[in-house]
Structure 1
Amino acid sequence: MARLNPIVRVLVVVCAALVVVALVATIAVTTVVRRSFPDRGGDVDVPGLSAPVTVLRDDQGVPQVYADTADDLFAAQGYVQAQDRFFEMDLRRHITAGRLSELVGESKDALDADKVVRTLGWRRVAEQELPLLSPSSRQYLQAYADGVNAYISGRSTSELGVEYAVLDLQLPDYHVEPWTPVDSLAWLKAMAWDLKSNYDDEITRARLSAYLSTRRIEQLYPPYPTKDHAPILSEADTATGSTVGAGSAAAVPSGTVRAAQAPSGRSALALAQKALASVPELMGRGDGIGSNSWVVAGSMTKSGKPMLANDPHLSPAIPSLWYQMGLHCRTVSAQCPFDVAGFTFSGTPGVIIGHNARVAWGFTNLAPDVTDLFLERLVGDKVEYDGRYTQVESREETIKVRGGDDVPLTVRTTRHGPLLSDVLDDVKDAGRDYRDNDAEAPTYDVALSWTALSPGRTADAIFAIDTATDWPSFRAAAAQFEVPSQNLVYADVDGNIGYQSPGKVPVREGFDGRWPVPGWSSRYRWASYVPFAQMPSVENPPEGFVVTANQQVQAADDPYLTQDWSYGYRSQRIRDLLQGRTGLTAADMAKIQFDNRNGMAPTLVPLLLATDLSDDAFTREAQQLLKGWNYTQPPDSAAAAYYNAVWRNLMRLGFDDELGDDLQADGGDRWFQVVTTLLKRKSDPWWDNRATPGAIENRDEIVRQAMVSARLELTRQLGKDASRWQWGRLHRLELEHTPLGGPSVPGPIRAMVNRGPIELGGGSGLVDATGWNAAEGYEVTAVPSMRMVVDLSDLDKSTWVNLTGASGHAYDAHYDDQVDHWATGRSYPWPFTQAAVKDASSDELTLKPGS
């Protein structure tokens, strides 16, 4: 089974205590869950509204809101999202404030998460951001909070969500606090955290340097293959558009950096990595977390107008991370400028990805290097910098624990950021292993520099993008989108397309950001930030399309963006499917989103077929599956099942013997490139399995062993007849609810809230990016969290689909009613104009001004 999300681990512990009362409570809980269903029709009084607001819902329960003022519009958004998703919103705000223990009670995992989030200070930064925002943004945030509070006021917790009823069985008397604008802003920090950059690669490289040479580490982080996989912007694009200019820092030799890391420093880095891993994954991290988006000009479409596609790849969840919604001012004006629809985050006003009446946009993660780890040298509470010691800043915090005692926390900060290696009990002594009880001897700790720890105006950007009318106004809005840095694709009804990368990206001096560096020297520092005018951008590129799938941005990229890209297997496949096309329709775009060809297989399969298995008829039966295989991975493919089992065993035999238990090869597209390079050499230290002393294996022997092991493994799991194997029987998605869906929760409750298993095609590094971790198994760990295609010739012909459904209430008709369409590559019509929305509506709710 895949490793549990930290939030799930936390709440599994809590819910496991309910086993004794579960069977007695199940009938009552089932009744309670129905009590929390929202009213979708009729009239409801909502205090604070200035005029009636209409909420129309379609057959999937997706709301489209119509109001006369912007304040009423966002108040209604808050009210409706609280109807469907309030527990999810409440859980998120507890996590982002470092207050998870207040919700779930005594749990080491919850407490560890709270300590790390408090140390990072997400909510503190959000509090500092609020006064920096424009008056209109603050007004919209407050209106949204008023709408949420209008819904939750006077309702018991059991009327807000079944999750409260279950948790109250063990920990009664929970009090729901009013929603605030800062609760919404703090969620943007969580989004930035999960999508930030290469910090994990940075720590991993440093840890590997303890026992691997620089050359062997670099083999595991090969250069981006620009000759085979085109970057986002071509040379023609960069010749005509605004692109990143000069100013990047020269990299200090990596050996110099690592020489500064004493053994205790490496220990500090390992434990800092553990601290970082304690932060709950709200959107997901690791291989498979990314996105596809592309936009095509009218010259390539049947209608003669642009089309835009987007499918962000994030951790699976039920309810889905996204909430579909339309926000419409009845009369669009300067005072009420919104006429927008798309995918929102419950808990945050506005539309994150979608379109308005004139422009459409999509996001993929740019993932520039916006974090750095500084190894700090301290004596007591004083930190060294250029030979002088100054006092470390500190503050005291108190973590409240539901049903338990308060926990004090001291947070220490240097000029580079919070000290992560202070945070957890088993991390505090990192770097102190050779001080020999000498209080004056230096110790080592790890500080994190991260752009999102400085207050910004990303919330302003969301509202500005929602109301953009053309390319200049869209770029002006993007300029305010500081974190997380994203690739933005653009199209408008006038026929223009474009690309813009926004974000706050540091310019480094003395290092390139790929390795942790000494914090005691001013040689290594952030000198400035990349000016927005120098961030990559292009309007109406000569190729007639733009594809972004987390690949390198430019052929001659400056290193301060990052050198840790996704390796372009997804992006190049999309480009290949678009190149030379004309007459494209929305259905064609959606078909590309569901493409499941494995870009690594054409490189590896010829070697697998050439492997001599004449003395092993049993394995040869499986080998025959690869003859004539077209390298696609639908769920019923026997060849895909065997190929991926070979791939997993190749990771294990080729790399895991040297990487250690917590650094095992996950098999994602970085490993595609690693193996592509290694396959050219029959002998290399990576091919030698250290677990077999006295033998030195080469490439062909390891490949043969992987094929034999894969045959045995699938025989045990899927049966002896290889022709009956199916990839989907291995590659399954479990939609697991947080907190009620964990394996230690009583079965009747799990059955109520979980969905699955769902057999899927696709895989890691594929356009249909159903990611899996080769170190753990074949289960799906990342998914296209939604899919959308926007047709700028007629917005009512656009299509969309969510992973699960609009509702967060189990047993509600819209809890999981989109799953089947999503899993099979189908979408729903996406009405936008008022006439189309009205025609598609099945429920109408009127929110009336109330006292």
Structure 2
Amino acid sequence: MVRIAPFARLPRPLRWAARVLTTLLVLVLVVAIAGAGVVVWTVRQSFPQLDGEIRLPGLAATVTVHRDAYGIPQIYADSPADLFRAQGYVHAQDRFWEMDFRRKTTAGRLSELFGASTLEIDKVVRTLGWRRVAEQEIALLAPETRKALEDYAAGVNAWLDQHAGAADKSLEYAVLKLTNGDYTPERWTPADSLAWLKAMAWDLRSNMGEELDRALTAGSVPVDRAEQLFPGYPFDRHRPIVTGESGAGTAAKGMTRVVRQAVPEQARALARTAEAMRALPALLGTAGGDLAGIGSNSWVVSGAHTTTGEPLLANDPHLGPRIPSIWYQAGLHCRQRGPACPFDLTGYTFAGLPGVVIGHNHRIAWGFTNLGPDVTDLYLERTKGDTYQFRGEWRAMETRVEQIKVAGGAPVSLTVRSTGHGPIISEVLADAGRAVPGAAAKLGEQPPDLPQDLSQGVEVALRWTALDPGRTADAILLLNKADDFEDFRAAAAAFEVPAQNLIYADVDGNIGYQAPGRIPVRAKGDGRWPAPGWTGEYEWQGFIPFEKLPYVYNPPAGYIVTANNAVIRQEKGGPFLTGDWSYGYRSQRVVDRLEQAIAKGKVSVETMQDIQRDTRNGLAPLLVPHLLRVGAGEPLRGWDFDQDRESAGAAYFNAVWRHLLRRTFGDELPDSAQPGGGDRWYEVIRALLDRPDDPWWDDVSTTDRAETRDDMLTAALADAKAELTELLGDDPSAWRWGDLHTLELTHETLGSSGIGPIEWLFNRGPLRTQGGKDTVDATGWDATEGYQVSWVPSMRMVVDLADFDRSRWINLTGASGHAFHANYDDQAELWADGQTTPMRSSEKAASADAADTLTLTP
């Protein structure tokens, strides 16, 4: 989320000028004095019309919009043009501020709204060039997709034409007008829609964080010790997605490793990458910038194992929390489905993009989790001014000048420099510079002309598949009208970035899985460490052909589970996808729960939902006996390893876990590589528990003796008890995980202003939550910062292929983006309680559930 805070607090990444915040505070006080009637009028002015009739120019025929009690629209039209035009209009009704903010973000134009405080973010986005790539993609798309984007934009613009005033659009514009009265939103364009896919690709960009962490860590400790902190996937304990029994897909193969040899630390160029890199994910949805372990759950069960006799499909993508939620639930239906109008959809959409991203049509259902292939490489570049060395010769960089407009100030010029590998990012992404020493250590060589300040002689370029124009927007519409697995795979072939695990089920009883994406083939190296760009040895030689990517169709087990775990064992003979998977704690727990349910009988919709709410901690059964051995008592004694909201054991265990990580690694790792507490660290600690005298246990800041495993365990118990006594009281039996593990639903722009009345207008919460970072109910938290929730199951869905109207779903917040609207946060408490609502799709069911019906007329 964007943080806009007063100068006294100065949290990252955004700061408004003190005069702006003072003006806002005065506004709040004036409005309060003016009386409740003015407040109500201001808030309600932008609420959309949900029933009756509205004229929508350009329609060929009337469009009906049924909304249920949660404000979720089901749109019925006679043609794709009318359907997508109406979708654009309805999205704008509920979410235009969010849409406008997103397009300013992805174009690197936030400073036009918020002034100089957002220049850092704008510079990063302009350097990456998301908007430029999106504009280039339009010509590559199928005519049908371009037409859908144009029709959608026409619907958005029709709404804009009808809502000229600031207060007519949303409360946010009324507040913004006081400090930036000249701002008027531009008309919507297809490129505005496409650019958001780049933002999502950045959030789900695979192992770039791990690549930086490895290099940063190797700059502080020997490379072999750094490698200990990045263990391999535990195939002996956690199954991959595609198992040997499936007989489908392609095995993965490791690539040549770079020679290990440490050299002295001399560089700072890579290290300038992490701070700004952390700022961008916080802006785009993965709060705190801690991407390690973030992902999603999805699984599908064949009718042979279900109570309905047809498949059941579950999905819950994990993204950063904010209000409104990143997802917008909707239905898109042709009144008479056929070749001329093939859409009959219900699912989750992005406000700003036509079509349904996750959901079902009349025949198939699909879900996503992050595949996480290695599609980013960092290249160390030898540079002199605007030239770089490549295979013994000096080449001119490609340069361009970006003009960034700044509200209340003069425009700022930014020169973007690119090598043949991609844009130079070490000046705008802070940790890229700091990681150079470790990268040099891993490479085993140092450029002979390397100065002490590497920012003047070695810089870092980013190669990333999302910076090449692609066709992912085609894939969404192809999925939306797919009839069978063959159509589904054809859609997947166009799904280039971000590469996702795609699961499938159809009304004929089939289930399947496909790994898509543009995944590079490297001449040398495995992409795990920054590579020397000047040698020409580590170039991308192309991309893995789609037909060689793993897939599964009707596996003998009768179910498929994906949760960012390894796709397939890395065996000889196939393409290399990545070495940095999530470690399979969530996926194996889902497998275990499914097999238990199948052994007892049949899997129902309720079973699927219960598994989505599973909170068992996968490390606790191993670690708790060690803690009990060194003296831990209540509430760990007798704890069942579940992390429900009322659990005292979960509160104590997670506090111990946090302090154990700090005690064990805080003395040797750099700040930007400190452990956030995900399942990679589960595997690290698992191995260290068998080595009580491993050097990692030793606190290097003490000199009297070398600390051991049991010293660290004992100290972590004491630290946790002291912290929880201060936070929750001195009675351990009264400690509650839900009192620590809370979720604030924060508005991504005005919600962190630092002014209480402004935050009160837009923020909601806190919500007491259960689960944890690597439980199936994945409510993530960062051990370096505290126990507050930083990413969540952004929605939950279970689709019943026997009767789509019996499907269930929930969103994190609500359909509306208008503060104080009844549908602004009406799903939040349900979400926190693990509940869902009916996911209707048929016109009969939608009509019966309709709380409002709006007719859009030509």
- Checking the alignment, whether the CA contact within 8 Å between 1:435 and 1:442 is kept in structure 2 is no
Q: Could you tell me which residue of structure 1 aligns to residue 274 of structure 2?
A: 273
SS at match of 2:750: coil
Provide the residue aligned with 2:738 in structure 1. 728
CA distance in 1, matches of 2:575, 2:784: 30
| Match status 1:10 vs 2:24 | no
Task: Kindly indicate whether residue 585 of structure 2 is the aligned counterpart of residue 577 of structure 1.
Answer: no
Match of 2:395 in 1: 390
Residue 510 (1) aligns with residue 524 (2)? yes
Change (3 A) 1:607 1:30: same
User: For residue 444 of structure 2, what is the aligned residue in structure 1?
Assistant: none
Unaligned segments of structure 1, at least 5 residues: 614-619
Match of 1:139 in 2: 147
The question of whether the paired residues in 2 share the 8 Å contact of 1:431 and 1:443 is answered with no
Matched, 1:468 2:482: yes
How far 1:33 sits from its partner (Å)? Answer: 2.1
Is 1:36 the counterpart of 2:43? The answer is: no
Post-superposition Cα deviations, 1:496-525, rounded to whole Å, max 9, x if no partner, equal: 000001000001111110000100011111
| Structure 2 CA distance for aligned equivalents of residues 572 and 204 of structure 1 | 26
CA contact (8 A) 1:116 1:278 kept: no
**Aligned mates of 2:537, 2:120 — CA distance in 1:** 34
Correspondence for 1:419 among 402, 418, 424: 424
Report the CA distance between 1:424 and its aligned residue: 7.4
Match of 1:589 among 597, 608, 633: 608
Measure the CA separation in 1 of the matches of 2:777 and 2:4: 23
Provide the residue aligned with 2:442 in structure 1: none
Looking at structure 1, the residues matched to 328 and 12 of structure 2 have their Cα atoms a distance apart, in angstroms, of: 21
Q: How does 1:600-639 map to 2 (within 5 A)?
A: 600-611=619-630, 613=631, 623-639=633-649
Is 1:183–2:192 an aligned residue pair? yes
Secondary structure, counterpart of 1:479 in structure 2: helix
Q: 2: CA distance between counterparts of 1:234 and 1:355?
A: 26
- Which residue pairs with 1:690 in the alignment? 700
Partners of 1:365 and 1:485 within 8 A in 2:
yes
Partner residue, 2:220: 211
Structure 2 residue 789 is the aligned partner of structure 1 residue 780: yes
Trace 1:112-511 onto structure 2 (pairs within 5 A). 112-155=120-163, 156-237=165-246, 239=247, 241-244=248-251, 250-255=255-260, 263-264=265-266, 266-280=267-281, 281-284=283-286, 285=289, 286-423=291-428, 443-511=457-525
- Aligned residue for 2:124, secondary structure, equals helix
What aligned pairs does 1:487-566 form with structure 2 within 5 A after superposition? 487-556=501-570, 560-566=576-582
CA distance in 1, matches of 2:698, 2:620: 23
Cα distance in 2 for residues equivalent to 1:726 and 1:782: 20
Please name the residue that 1:669 is paired with.
679
Task: Say if 1:12 and 1:740, in contact at 8 Å, map to a contact too.
Answer: no
> In 2, Cα distance between the equivalents of 1:283 and 1:173?
28
Provide closer, same or farther for how the CA distance between residues 200 and 334 of structure 1 changes in structure 2, counting only shifts above 3 A: same
Once residues 766 and 376 of structure 1 are traced to their aligned partners in structure 2, the CA distance between those partners, rounded to angstroms, is: 40
Q: Contact conserved, 1:295 with 1:497, CA < 8 A, in 2?
A: yes
**Cross-structure match for 2:583:** 567
> Aligned-pair distance for 1:820?
1.3
Alignment check: 8 A CA contact 1:73 1:328 kept: yes
Q: 1:436 to 1:236 in 2, by over 3 A?
A: closer
Could you tell me which residue of structure 1 aligns to residue 29 of structure 2? 23
Q: Any conservation in 1 of the 2:271–2:426 contact (CA below 8 Å)?
A: no
Q: 1:528 deviation in Å?
A: 1.3
Deviations 1:126-173 (A, max 9, x none): 010001100110000000000000001142122111111111112212
The structure-2 alpha-carbon separation of the partners of 1:795 and 1:77, relative to structure 1 and needing over 3 Å to count, comes to: same
* Alignment CA distance shift 1:630-1:425 (3 Å): closer
CA contact (8 A) 1:289 1:315 kept: no
Bigger drift between 656-665 and 488-497 goes to: 656-665
- Deviation per CA, 1:751-778: give whole Å up to 9, x if none: 1211111111100110000011111100
Partner Cα distance (1:140, 1:442) in 2: 47
Q: Name the CA shift for 1:766/1:47 in 2 (closer, same or farther; >3 Å).
A: same
Given that residues 288 and 314 in structure 1 are in contact (C-alpha distance below 8 angstroms), is that contact kept between their aligned partners in structure 2? no
Q: Normalised by the size of structure 1, how large is the TM-score?
A: 0.94
One-letter amino acid of the structure 2 residue matched with residue 289 of structure 1: I
The structure-2 alpha-carbon separation of the partners of 1:303 and 1:178, relative to structure 1 and needing over 3 Å to count, comes to same
What is the TM-score of this pair, normalised by structure 2? 0.93
What SS does structure 2 have at the residue aligned with 1:255? Answer: coil
Stretch of structure 1 that moved more, 329-338 or 29-38: 29-38
User: Which letter maps to 1:53?
Assistant: V
Contact 1:509 1:525 in 2 (8 A): yes
Which blocks of at least 5 consecutive residues in structure 2 are unaligned? Answer: 438-446
Alpha-carbon displacement from aligned partner over 1:66-110 (angstroms, at most 9, x marks no partner): 001100000000000000000000000000001010121221xx1
Aligned partners of 2:711 and 2:821: how far apart in 1?
Answer: 54
Q: What is the identity, as a one-letter code, of the residue corresponding to 1:587?
A: E
Partner amino acid for 1:125?
V
* CA distance in structure 2 between the partners assigned to 1:848 and 1:551 by the alignment: 48
Aligned length: 829
CA distance in 2, matches of 1:424, 1:635: 38
Question: Structure 2: how far apart are the matches of 1:215 and 1:542?
Answer: 41
Q: Secondary structure at the match of 2:272?
A: helix
Distance in structure 2 (CA, Å) of the matches to 1:359 and 1:117: 37
Q: In structure 1, what is the Cα distance between the partners aligned to 2:732 and 2:373? A: 44
Deviation larger for 337-346 or 434-443: 434-443
Measured at CA, do residues 11 and 184 of structure 1 come closer, stay the same or move farther in structure 2, by a change above 3 Å? farther
Kindly provide the CA deviation profile for residues 647-703 of structure 1, in whole angstroms up to 9, marking residues without a partner as x: 111011011111122221111111111101110111111101123232311001100
Distance in 1 between residues matched to 2:671 and 2:780, nearest whole Å: 20
Which residue number corresponds to residue 440 of structure 2? none
1:7 and 1:121, CA in 2 relative to 1: closer, same or farther beyond 3 A? farther
Partner-residue secondary structure (3-state), 2:635 = helix
Identity value in percent: 53
Q: Tell me the distance in 1 between the aligned counterparts of 2:284 and 2:788.
A: 19
Measure, in 1, the Cα distance between the counterparts of 2:639 and 2:423: 52
Deviations 1:268-291 (A, max 9, x none): 110133343343541325135210
Give the distance between the partners of 1:2 and 1:706, measured in 2 at CA.
Answer: 34
Q: Is the 8 A contact 1:340 1:351 kept in 2?
A: yes
Q: 1:54 aligns with which of 34, 45, 64?
A: 64
Report the Cα distance in structure 2 between the residues aligned to 1:713 and 1:735, rounded to whole angstroms: 25
CA displacement 1:437-486 (0-9 Å, x = unmatched): 99999711100000011111000000000000000000001100000000
Give, in angstroms, the shift of residue 436 of structure 1. 10
Return closer, same or farther for 1:435/1:24 CA change in 2, 3 Å cut-off. Answer: farther
Q: Distance in 2 between matches of 1:559 and 1:676?
A: 30
CA contact (8 A) 1:12 1:742 kept: no
Aligned residue for 1:206, secondary structure, equals helix
CA contact (8 A) 1:504 1:529 kept: yes
